[in-house]
Structure 1
Amino acid sequence: MSKEIQKVDSTISTTTKNKLDLSKFNNAALSSALSNIELPRLFHQLVFFVLDGTGSMTWEGKTGSSKGEEIDIAIKKIIKRLLESKNKNCFDIGVYAFAEEHATILQPSKMANDMLDINYNPTLFFKENYKFEYLDDTLDLVDLEINNYYKKHEGKNCQSLVIILSDGAIRHFESASEKTKKIKSNQKTTVSSILFEDIRWSNDEDFLNQTKNKLKELASNNQNGHSFFISDVDPDAIRNHMIKSISTVSKID
């Protein structure tokens, strides 16, 4: 080896067999560099939560917390589950709330730990204790965001899942139903709906069934004809339904 090459090679120590001596590297810098490497996405999955923020969601749910607080807990558990997934970099999350107006809680964004710091109780985003839910106007905005998402990731493996969480007192329901049909007409988009039952409805079976049928009408059906709809007062059952919907649409465990 010439003296010139020896000088250049002096910054990297080698053994007599010309193997790199990694003990001479800055391990902290190497670890930092590796941690910032983002693996290529296998797919692009947008999960869009659409939350009922009207006054009735401040009423007490089965857990003793308000239905709005139960929504916050359920969504955070879903986000935590996705953050722990080996496919976490494949997901984007968006959150809108609706009442007699619209509120943006989270614009569609890549999964990030600070999403767990947001309070997703939809009733906190409206100054008025609104009585009616104008879901149809919010669905227009959701449809626009989804189309922008598909354009951004054109030519890639891309899907969207819209999850509507409500207790069902939706004004202009026919309009909302038509707009979900438009959203569902794209084969890459699935709509799931979750009815947050009021415990007091147990004495009014007819009203409960009518409300269930409305929310079920908004949801997609899978290939076996099963609906992406659930009606329950159990937060764990609601959370499990969301996980199952995400797994089914994304085709992952």
Structure 2
Amino acid sequence: MEQTGLIIDKPEVPRTFHQLGILVLDGSGSMNATGRGQLTKAQEVEMGVKELFTRFDGSSKKSNFSFSCIKFDTSSTTTLQPTPFQEIDYFSENFNPLDGKGRGTHIFEALNEAKKMAEEFLNNAPQDGLRHSVVILLMSDGLCFQPETTIAVADNIKLNPSVVIASAYFAELGNSDNEATEIKNLLQNVSTNPVKYYATVYDGEALRKFFESSISQSAGIGKIN
């Protein structure tokens, strides 16, 4: 039988749970550094996020998810309010974390904003019997100016069993100095579980895989497809 080359979407299943994924993306000046493929690390991040959403678009489980986006340097900016996945025009959305940013690294600022967003989502969940949860998808490549404050905010967030923090360190190949070790240790401490919800990544594709795995594990669905 002749192949038409058409891609047939999987049938969408009714919502059985509702998870909010909060992208928390580092827009500090160091994200201007060149990553793999002659792109900046910031461009790699944008490509990874858009590929993540492209994969979601083909998932039968996509109706169960909403997403938002917070970019940060020394301040945090919400560039995408919590929105059901099907309503996000992710091709047009700007997920480059350097857009409007470029200064230092205050992870705690963004985590505080994510905490408020998570609490509002959970507190306003309708009484429809569906399980509601939040996964905070944090990416950073620099050492926070106030690491103790960042850990304290993260510890407070993790008191809520309905919220998971997944942390990715966007590192540079061959960089294993003391600062890189400090960044790694900080992000492992921030994550809910440093084995399941932490990764060192070197490009947008690895970041996409980590975010996808974190969403799948925290939602308890195996794979998004």
Q: TM-score, normalised by structure 2?
A: 0.86
Mapped to 1, the partners of 2:83 and 2:91 lie a distance apart of: 13
Tell me, yes or no, if the aligned pair for 2:74 and 2:109 is still in contact at 8 Å.
no
**How far apart are 1:135 and its partner, in Å?**
1.7
Higher RCO (CA-CA < 8 Å; seq separation 6+): 2
Mapped to 1, the partners of 2:201 and 2:88 lie a distance apart of: 29
**How far apart are 1:232 and its partner, in Å?**
2.1
**Deviations along 1:33-74, whole A, 9 cap, x unmatched?**
xxxxx9742100100000111111011112210111111001
Q: Does 1:189 align with 2:163?
A: yes
**How far apart are 1:77 and its partner, in Å?**
1.0
Instruction: Determine the structure 2 residue equivalent to 1:118.
Output: 93
**How far apart are 1:190 and its partner, in Å?**
0.5
Mapped to 1, the partners of 2:182 and 2:143 lie a distance apart of: 11
Mapped to 2, the partners of 1:236 and 1:136 lie a distance apart of: 26
Q: Does 1:251 align with 2:223?
A: no
**Which of these two proteins has the greater Rg computed from alpha carbons?**
1
Structure 2's unaligned 5+ residue stretches are: 1-11
**How far apart are 1:103 and its partner, in Å?**
1.5
Mapped to 2, the partners of 1:123 and 1:165 lie a distance apart of: 13
Identify if the C-alpha distance between structure 1 residues 210 and 140 changes in structure 2 by more than 3 Å, giving closer, same or farther. Answer: closer
Q: Where does structure 1 differ by over 6 angstroms across 4 or more consecutive aligned residues?
A: none
Q: Does 1:237 align with 2:206?
A: yes
Mapped to 1, the partners of 2:42 and 2:175 lie a distance apart of: 23
Instruction: Number of aligned residue pairs: give it.
Output: 208
Tell me, yes or no, if the aligned pair for 1:44 and 1:153 is still in contact at 8 Å.
no
Q: Indicate which of 52, 58, 63 corresponds to 1:89.
A: 63
**How far apart are 1:237 and its partner, in Å?**
2.2
CA RMSD of aligned residues (A): 1.8
Mapped to 2, the partners of 1:121 and 1:82 lie a distance apart of: 19
Tell me, yes or no, if the aligned pair for 2:30 and 2:142 is still in contact at 8 Å.
no
Structure 1's unaligned 5+ residue stretches are: 1-37
Instruction: Determine the structure 2 residue equivalent to 1:10.
Output: none
Does the residue aligned with 2:23 lie in a helix, a strand or coil?
Answer: strand
Counterpart code for 1:240 = K
**How far apart are 1:178 and its partner, in Å?**
0.8
Percent pairwise identity: 25
Instruction: Determine the structure 2 residue equivalent to 1:150.
Output: 122
Tell me, yes or no, if the aligned pair for 1:83 and 1:113 is still in contact at 8 Å.
no
Counterpart code for 1:141 = E
